[in-house]
Structure 1
Amino acid sequence: MKSLTELLFPVTRSFDSLRKEGHCGPLSPQPAPKPSITVASQPANLAFAWPPSVKQNPNLPTLPALMTTENASSIPSKRATPALQMGPRKKASTSDPLISHGRHFGRTVFALCNFPSLLTNGILRLEQMEDAPLEDFSTDERREHRVFEHLLDSYPGLLERLQNGSEEELIHVGELIGKGAAGARGDDTKTLKSAVLDWISPKGAAIQPPLHRNSKIDRGFNHELTGSLLCPAGLDWKDPETRESLRSGEMSVCGDQWPIFLYTNYTYDADDPWCGLLRNRLLVSAYKHVFTSPSSVDKEPKATRSGNARLHGMNAVTIASIAYIATQVRFALSSSSVFSRTDTSTDSETFYHSLLDLLEDPEESKEVDELLTWWNRQVFPTSSAAKRPISANSALAKIRLRRLAVKQAADLNSS
């Protein structure tokens, strides 16, 4: 019996070969015996980037989980199938709707994702879930599957295309979506690098010493202003010993040590860490810059035809989009020049995941709902998502109070 670890990767094995060996059922509606699958506690390759190296079938070539320009040249040229090599007729076009969809999906649903792996794992997991409920999978696999289902729901016809297409088509679709997500991330990193300096400059004064727009070497803990914003909440940047430890690297900062700029007025309450979290004007400025247009930063956003939110029919803030913007701003303030997994000084991947861990926690739903309401008022004030308090004496308030009273009476009678 093969475990899930053995099934999910390598992707160079076609679905036809998997079916012939009895590892998964047919993807088309043809009768076939149901497979017997053991769910592994540790998946072979989760799609969320940048995944660590894993052991693969020794008889098959090693395939990096995330295709990058750095590791592409190290991949063996001979494979069982050419599925990961896009042929000329599969050449990606910047006008392909999947690329555009990937740009928005990366910003608003999940940014650091290996999309070919996400699709491959998702299709196989659908087969496995015929015999094993999603609850039997690991926490990371469940989150990955939620992202996979969100992708299917947001792009009509995608599931049918994946199920009816070849393995090469599945990988090609994933690469198109990934190209869009990576392109958007790169574009935002580039524009925010310069724009963030305008938002942190003291009113009526210039940053001293000056910070260059096209170079980040003097940012991070190397500069008084950016260092004070990146200082982990709970530490005192004004303390010379703390400041020197951060600058020298003696005190390392992990991604889950959140910087003070995430908080309102850069104020952290150790007794109530939720107070003011992710309600900073700097974050709002960056959010508007990316989603509603750079010109909307200093004024109420309008429904411009060029804004990314408008282009994709977005009228409400998402949890992942807040985490994405926070990650981008944190990187813009840092001295790092390349958004990379190997950059341990920024640890962007851990930072992004740690925010999602909090915001997706059901136990924090009350605080998260209040946070989203606050954000929608800042970015989409005319949207129905920007819920406002109901007037106490309004007809709507009385209707809801009456409905609540009726429900409570019914519950009392039934108990």
Structure 2
Amino acid sequence: MASSSSAGQGKENEVPRNGKEVDPAPPRFGTVNKQVSKKRPLNALELGPRKRPAQQDPLVHHGRHFGRTICAFSNVHSLLLLGLSEKDIVPETQQERREHRVYRKLLKLVPGLEERLLEANGDDDGAIFDIATHKGAASARSDDTKSLKSAVIDWITPSDGEPLRPPLARNVKVDRGIKEQLRNKTMAIPGNHWPLFVYRDEEWHDDPLKAWTGLFRSKLLVYAYKHVFTSPSSVDDDPKSTRSGNARIHGMTCVTPASVAYITTQLRFALSSASIFSRTDKETDSETFYTSVLELFEDPEEQDEVKALMAWWNRQVFPSFSNVPRTIPTNSVLSKIKERRAVLKARALNERGDD
């Protein structure tokens, strides 16, 4: 006589005459099987099949670099409309000149963009580009805000091992800045007032003739710039970084004035007690601060100082970059090639003269 267990198994595997499958017996508690495919059931405690990573829209990729190095706060859609409608109009005001420059840099950043917009028919490519670029710029800004929030604590901690007094939490900003006065509205810091950290060694000179001395040349700014653009490990000159920095990913080989303004704005926010980086934030007034820095960099009368500043930044971040042409040794192979080319050009000119 068959046992009850074997009888139960017989019934479990039995198929009725009408051809319909019998529902399996309820599983034991804690071992629910989820049917992933007809070939192999998946236990609830097992990992599911790995999803293929979603391919990022190239426009989002461009948007990240656009926000960091060209314009952190902009209405891309109106910028595109303005650029397309005023191609032959000479900008007159400082705002119009800035928008025109940003538009030209945007076209250079995204090859074929202008042709694509001009040829757009039913598809609203302008709106699509606006959304994608805004998404890229916003995500980059959020990533940088999050990473700088904790990194800045390491940079302002005394190098002699003494702790910060009062101590500051790495991931909580409520204790940073002059929060109480700002919260009670007894003190307000407008965006066009610049903090001391923008100066080398935090030394500000009251003498107008020394206003550029040390300006935007502080160690904190260089640390923050390297952290975002080259890699966090490059702040300590550590060559062991395994990830490509944002500069290499986007083919960036020199510092731009807008990128310095962006990093200065990010660092200013990181040192404040504000928790949300927003262009409408009245506590930090970040957009006004960013714009005031950018206006200085774009002032035609300050270009000699700005060029000297950018050269200084390139030596800090991209040591191989140089605006100075390299001299060729007189007895080198390269000098002989140049000499040969000059002889051939002179010979060709003489032959044309004879004709």
Q: Same fold (TM over 0.5)?
A: yes
- Aligned residue for 2:284? 346
Which of the numbers 134, 142, 161 marks the counterpart of 1:178?
134
Q: Please give the root-mean-square deviation of Cα atoms over the aligned residues, in Å.
A: 2.4
- Aligned residue for 1:336? 274
For residues 179 and 119 of structure 1, the distance between their equivalents in structure 2, rounded to whole angstroms, comes to 16
Alpha-carbon shift at residue 305 of structure 1 (Å): 5.4
Alpha-carbon shift at residue 124 of structure 1 (Å): 2.0
| Partners of 1:288 and 1:301 within 8 A in 2 | no
Alpha-carbon shift at residue 268 of structure 1 (Å): 0.3
Larger deviation, residues 94-103 vs 272-281: 94-103
Which of the numbers 298, 306, 314 marks the counterpart of 1:360?
298
1:284 aligns with 2:243: no
Aligned partner of 1:156: which letter? P
For residues 174 and 246 of structure 1, the distance between their equivalents in structure 2, rounded to whole angstroms, comes to 35
1:257 aligns with 2:175: no
Alignment of 1:264-275 (within 5 A): 264-271=200-207, 272-275=210-213
- Aligned residue for 1:209? 166
Alpha-carbon shift at residue 141 of structure 1 (Å): 2.1
For residues 372 and 346 of structure 1, the distance between their equivalents in structure 2, rounded to whole angstroms, comes to 26
- Aligned residue for 2:308? 370
State the identity as a percent. Answer: 56
Deviations 1:32-81 (A, max 9, x none): xxxxxxxxxxxxxxxxxxxxxxxxxxxxxxxxxxxxxxxxxxxxxxxxxx
1:297 aligns with 2:235: yes
1:141 aligns with 2:141: no
Counterparts in 2 of 1:125 and 1:301: CA distance versus 1, 3 Å: farther
- Mind listing any 5+ residue stretches in structure 1 that lack a counterpart? 1-92, 223-243, 396-415
For residues 221 and 245 of structure 1, the distance between their equivalents in structure 2, rounded to whole angstroms, comes to 6
For residues 300 and 383 of structure 1, the distance between their equivalents in structure 2, rounded to whole angstroms, comes to 20
Counterparts in 2 of 1:303 and 1:335: CA distance versus 1, 3 Å: closer
| Partners of 1:216 and 1:335 within 8 A in 2 | yes
Alpha-carbon shift at residue 187 of structure 1 (Å): 0.5
1:119 aligns with 2:76: no
Which of the numbers 104, 119, 132 marks the counterpart of 1:164?
119
For residues 275 and 333 of structure 1, the distance between their equivalents in structure 2, rounded to whole angstroms, comes to 23
| Partners of 1:105 and 1:181 within 8 A in 2 | yes
Alignment of 1:38-187 (within 5 A): 95-126=56-87, 129=88, 133-135=89-91, 137-166=92-121, 168-187=124-143
Alpha-carbon shift at residue 342 of structure 1 (Å): 3.0
For residues 144 and 198 of structure 2, the distance between their equivalents in structure 1, rounded to whole angstroms, comes to 19
Larger deviation, residues 249-258 vs 347-356: 249-258
Alpha-carbon shift at residue 125 of structure 1 (Å): 2.1
TM-score normalised to structure 2 length = 0.71
Alpha-carbon shift at residue 384 of structure 1 (Å): 2.7
Counterparts in 2 of 1:276 and 1:247: CA distance versus 1, 3 Å: farther
For residues 354 and 266 of structure 1, the distance between their equivalents in structure 2, rounded to whole angstroms, comes to 19
Aligned partner of 1:356: which letter? L
For residues 180 and 168 of structure 1, the distance between their equivalents in structure 2, rounded to whole angstroms, comes to 19
For residues 107 and 228 of structure 2, the distance between their equivalents in structure 1, rounded to whole angstroms, comes to 24
For residues 384 and 245 of structure 1, the distance between their equivalents in structure 2, rounded to whole angstroms, comes to 46
- Aligned residue for 1:74? none
For residues 117 and 304 of structure 1, the distance between their equivalents in structure 2, rounded to whole angstroms, comes to 39
Aligned partner of 2:287: which letter? E
| Partners of 1:327 and 1:348 within 8 A in 2 | yes
- Aligned residue for 1:218? 175
Counterparts in 2 of 1:300 and 1:381: CA distance versus 1, 3 Å: farther
Alpha-carbon shift at residue 300 of structure 1 (Å): 6.7
Counterparts in 2 of 1:248 and 1:273: CA distance versus 1, 3 Å: farther
- Mind listing any 5+ residue stretches in structure 2 that lack a counterpart? 1-53, 331-355
SS at 2:73 equivalent: coil
For residues 303 and 332 of structure 1, the distance between their equivalents in structure 2, rounded to whole angstroms, comes to 24
